[in-house]
Amino acid sequence: MWLRRERPLRDRRLSRAHIVGAAVPVLDTEGHRGLSMRRIATDLGVTAGSLYWYVRTKDDVLELALDRVLGEVNADPEEPDWRHGLAALARNTRAMLLRHRWALLELTVRPNLGPNAFTLAETGLHLLSRAGFADADLDAAMATVNDQVVGAVIAEVAWRDTLTRMRESGAEWTQHATTAYLRDVAARHPLLAHRMAAGKGADVERDSERRFEFALSCLLAGLSATCDATIPSEHPQAAPAAR
Amino acid sequence: MWLRRERPLRDRRLSRAHIVGAAVPVLDTEGHRGLSMRRIATDLGVTAGSLYWYVRTKDDVLELALDRVLGEVNADPEEPDWRHGLAALARNTRAMLLRHRWALLELTVRPNLGPNAFTLAETGLHLLSRAGFADADLDAAMATVNDQVVGAVIAEVAWRDTLTRMRESGAEWTQHATTAYLRDVAARHPLLAHRMAAGKGADVERDSERRFEFALSCLLAGLSATCDATIPSEHPQAAPAAR
DNA sequence: ACCTGAACACCGTTCAAGT
DNA sequence: ACCTGAACACCGTTCAAGT
């Protein structure tokens, strides 16, 4: 996609920018299911076939849409404390992904070669290199943080979506078949049962954030320990100050 | 899905087991794109409509297929060293996901309520509880490990898939447009450029494993530090032995 | 109870033909 | 150069009708 330059413009009514501009709102409000080439076309007052003048497949549209929303994430590569910088980057990414939930799938289905993706990667690398990582470890550390964020938000979104879906289709938790199935599960899995009981009246919003922060501090502690072990002369402090 | 019990059998030619038995091989060899209700039906010598007697939507089929392959992951909840136990669970999960790449999408698109999913969750919780985690922290720790594994394998698979796709469609790395685009990117992003240069002749297989192990040890170090901080009386050892 | 056959309402993509 | 209109080859799902 990013290799195919947009055609020079003359008297046209469309452009890639127009197409993503139409696609993103549809994705935000109706999800992947709601987006079709025909839908984008009619929103732009045009025929479905026309889009193929600007874009080779529907996947191209999604790739463009992803890079657009990646542009919404901002992070400061010059933040003095690399831990704070990385944490901010992670939190901002999470917030963006919660605004554009469809983007998670695009982010994960292929590597990301758009300009905004590269910019974000560079600031992440910059922060981690200042932490003392280099070469293969720099790659690995960056990947670890990214993967944690993506994995966490994926799980969070999946959970939130089913909760709202269940709210829409009536409170199925209290259905007979459901309680029977869950009782069966609980009987076989004591720890799971204990956790399920605790999660009954939980606040999804707060819990998700707690978990995200737990994972983040856990990971930063692990990264600190790892880079201190590799380059012990870098940070001659008393304690790595986890959390 | 898991709430709708299978109908009692009489003289039928089909069952849910038959359906997943037909679906999984198609998914393994041809991916999501290759799987359609009509395809499953013809493979079973039957009409597409028939499947809807056993299953309510195509999503049900995918949910069943996911739980089947989750059953391939084995892990020992009684492993004495919880770190070893968790690492093994993580590695086995990764291996399974590399065998059934389509499963990643299913795993992430909704929470997972099949019997095999519950069993795996229980052994993970068991290992972490023996590490000293409890209540909300137990949840969070489990989620952190899961999310790391899922996030890492997603990125790995996305990367591998594009590599093979590029191999199939001719070596596009050396195309003029590609090199121009990448040179442009490299000019703007020094650290990225450095890493891209290093990744030229890399071995994907080995690198993926290295990264996975890096993330794993990083995370286990972070978890050890966290639980030692919470319950310092639990493990009165000299050092947490990271890596 | 279980399965067929045909239909419905969609898809993404292609491509001649117009302007 | 850019867009239309119509077609192609598919989808998932429904449902009367058969057995």
pLDDT in tens, B96-118: 999 999 999 999 998 888 999 99
**B92-99 long-range contacts, Cβ below 8 Å, gap at least 24?**
B93/B120, B93/B149, B93/B153, B94/B149, B94/B152, B94/B153, B94/B212, B96/B69, B96/B70, B96/B72, B97/B153, B97/B157, B98/B153, B98/B156, B98/B157, B99/B28, B99/B69, B99/B72
pLDDT beyond 50 at A198: yes
Q: Residue A7: pLDDT band by 50, 70, 90 thresholds? A: low
Q: Assign A184 to helix, strand or coil.
A: helix
Q: How far apart are CA A2 and CA B175, in angstroms?
A: 13
Question: For A219, which of B5, B136, B218 is closest by C-beta distance?
Answer: B218
Q: Residue A240: pLDDT band by 50, 70, 90 thresholds? A: very low
List, for residues B202-218, the tens digit of each pLDDT value: 788 999 999 999 999 99
Q: How far apart are CA B159 and CA B8, in angstroms?
A: 45
Q: Residue B13: pLDDT band by 50, 70, 90 thresholds? A: confident
Q: Do domains A16-70 and A75-230 have the same CATH topology?
A: no
pLDDT beyond 50 at B197: yes
Question: Helix A176-188 and helix B115-131: axis angle, to 10°?
Answer: 40
Say whether B218 and A215 touch across the interface (CB within 8 A): no
Tokens of B207: 């690198």
Mean pLDDT of A63-79: 96
pLDDT at B178: 79
Question: For A148, which of B122, B129, B151 is closest by C-beta distance?
Answer: B151
Phi, psi of B112 (to 5 degrees): -110, 110
Q: What Å value separates CA A56 and C1' C10?
A: 21
In chain B, % of residues over pLDDT 70 = 87
Say whether B198 and A161 touch across the interface (CB within 8 A): no
Say whether B177 and A3 touch across the interface (CB within 8 A): yes
Question: For B143, which of A172, A190, A211 is closest by C-beta distance?
Answer: A211
pLDDT beyond 70 at B243: no
> Between these two residues, B88 and A202, which has the higher pLDDT value?
B88
pLDDT at A229: 73
| Residue pair B86/B127 in contact by the 8 Å Cβ criterion | yes
Q: How far apart are CA A214 and CA A87, in angstroms?
A: 11
Who contacts B147 (Cβ-Cβ below 8 Å, separation ≥6)? A147, A148, A151, A152, A154, A155, A215
Q: Which of residues 129-148 of B touch strand C (CB under 7 A)?
A: none
Say whether A149 and B146 touch across the interface (CB within 8 A): no
Q: Which residues of A touch B141 (CB under 8 A)?
A: 214, 218
Range from A196-205, B16-25, B39-48, B84-93 carrying the lowest mean pLDDT: A196-205
Which is the CATH superfamily of the domain at B16-70?
A: Homeodomain-like (1.10.10.60)
Q: Where are the domains of chain A?
A: 16-70, 75-230
Mean pLDDT of A172-180: 73
**B46-52 long-range contacts, Cβ below 8 Å, gap at least 24?**
B46/B13, B46/B14, B50/B14, B51/B14, B51/B19
Say whether B218 and A223 touch across the interface (CB within 8 A): yes
Cα of B107 vs its chain's centroid, Å? 7
């409170």: which residue's tokens? Answer: A171
Q: What Å value separates CA A47 and C1' D3?
A: 8
Q: What Å value separates CA B5 and C1' D19?
A: 25
| Residue pair B145/B219 in contact by the 8 Å Cβ criterion | yes
pLDDT at B11: 58
pLDDT beyond 50 at B176: yes
pLDDT at B206: 93
Say whether B154 and A221 touch across the interface (CB within 8 A): no
Question: Helix B102-109 and helix B16-34: axis angle, to 10°?
Answer: 110
| Residue pair B95/B57 in contact by the 8 Å Cβ criterion | no
**A191-194 long-range contacts, Cβ below 8 Å, gap at least 24?**
A191/B122, A191/B125, A191/B126, A191/B129, A191/B138, A192/B118, A192/B121, A192/B122, A192/B125
- Name the residue closest to C6, CA to C1': B49
Q: Which residues of B touch A6 (CB under 8 A)?
A: none
Q: What Å value separates CA B48 and C1' D12?
A: 10
Tokens of B58: 């195509």
Q: Assign A83 to helix, strand or coil.
A: helix
Say whether B125 and A4 touch across the interface (CB within 8 A): no
pLDDT beyond 50 at A118: yes
Interface test with B, best of A1, A2, A3, A128 (most B CBs within 10 A): A3
Range from A12-21, A112-121, B141-150, B226-235 carrying the lowest mean pLDDT: B226-235
Range from A25-29, B4-8, B91-95, B149-153 carrying the lowest mean pLDDT: B4-8
- Closest residue of chain A to B239, computed from CA coordinates: A225
Q: Top-level CATH class of A75-230?
A: mainly alpha
What pTM was estimated for this model as a whole? 0.89
Average pLDDT of chain B, as a whole number: 88
Q: How far apart are CA B152 and CA A155, in angstroms?
A: 14
Q: Residue A173: pLDDT band by 50, 70, 90 thresholds? A: low
Mean pLDDT of A45-70: 97
Note the helical H segments in B35-134. 37-43, 48-51, 58-70, 82-99, 102-109, 115-131
Does the C-beta of A49 come within 7 A of strand C?
yes
Q: What Å value separates CA A49 and C1' C16?
A: 13
How far B45 CA sits from the closest chain A CA (Å)? Answer: 30
> Between these two residues, A27 and B176, which has the higher pLDDT value?
A27
Mean pLDDT of B125-141: 95
pLDDT at B132: 94
Q: What Å value separates CA A41 and C1' C12?
A: 13
- Name the residue closest to C5, CA to C1': B47
Range from A165-174, A204-213, B123-132, B188-197 carrying the lowest mean pLDDT: A165-174
pLDDT at A51: 97
Cα torsion through A80, B198, A70, A55, rounded to 10: 160
pLDDT at A241: 44
- Name the residue closest to C7, CA to C1': B49
Interface test with A, best of B211, B212, B217, B228 (most A CBs within 10 A): B211
**Cα–Cα separations (whole angstroms), residue A147 to A10, B147, B156:** 43, 8, 10
